[in-house]
Amino acid sequence: MSEEWTGPGGTLGLVRWIGLAQRKAAEDWIRTRGLSHEQGFVLGYLVQNPGSIQRDIAQVSRTAPASVSSLLQGLERRELIERRTENGDERRKRVYATPAGAELVAGFADAVAAVDETILEPLTADERAALDALLLKITAKLPQPTRP
């Protein structure tokens, strides 16, 4: 769900609109795996960032540390992740996706790429380049989505 109920008015209203289409596709894909949106995000993040600690996961997923705790408990119960402490620091728990966990979300990136291609289909190569340049100019000034 999203905040586009003001209607797709204005340039960034269009961005919201496109984002909705992307989001819907991604959510549907994840739900077929029996995962919530957040669980899917975290599991995918762990595949690409093995050994992250929960504090970092909370940051990138924009949820409270307590929520990450519960969320990981759910994933651990299903044996999609493992947690263990390393290097003699008993505070930090390193989190890893299990093979089963990695397998469950494998193909997500490809699915997203395929949807993106469909969305971009109306544009020529030149137009895509122009769009890319404009968006880059915007995102250059945007705060980084925290990514250690």
The option from DNA, its own copies, none interacting with 141 (CB < 5 to 8 A, set by class) reads its own copies
Binder among 61, 78, 83, 92 for its own copies (CB under 8 A): 61
- Spell out the residues 6+ positions from residue 12 whose beta carbon is closer than 8 angstroms to its own: none
The phi-psi region of residue 107 (left if phi > 0; otherwise alpha if psi is between -120 and 50; otherwise beta) is left
Binder among 35, 41, 52, 102 for its own copies (CB under 8 A): 41
Q: Considering only residues 12-71, where is the footprint of DNA by CB under 7 A? A: 31, 36-39, 53-55, 63-71
- Spell out the residues 6+ positions from residue 52 whose beta carbon is closer than 8 angstroms to its own: 45, 46, 94, 95
The option from its own copies, DNA, none interacting with 104 (CB < 5 to 8 A, set by class) reads none
Which one of 78-86, 92-100, 136-144 is the stretch in contact with its own copies (CB under 8 A)?
136-144
- The number of residues that bind its own copies (CB under 8 A) is 64
> Which run of H or of E encompasses 91?
none
How many alpha carbons lie under 13 Å from residue 93 in its C-beta half-sphere? Answer: 13
CB neighbours of residue 28 within 10 Å: 11
Q: Considering only residues 103-132, where is the footprint of its own copies by CB under 8 A? A: 108-109, 112-113, 116, 119-123, 127-128, 130-132
The tokens for 77 are 């119960």
Are the C-beta atoms of residues 20 and 4 closer than 8 Å to each other?
yes
Residues at the contact surface with its own copies, assessed by CB under 8 A: 1-8, 10-24, 26-27, 30, 37-38, 40-41, 44-45, 48, 60-63, 108-109, 112-113, 116, 119-123, 127-128, 130-132, 134-143, 145, 147
Residues at the contact surface with DNA, assessed by CB under 7 A: 31, 36-39, 53-55, 63-74, 83, 88-93
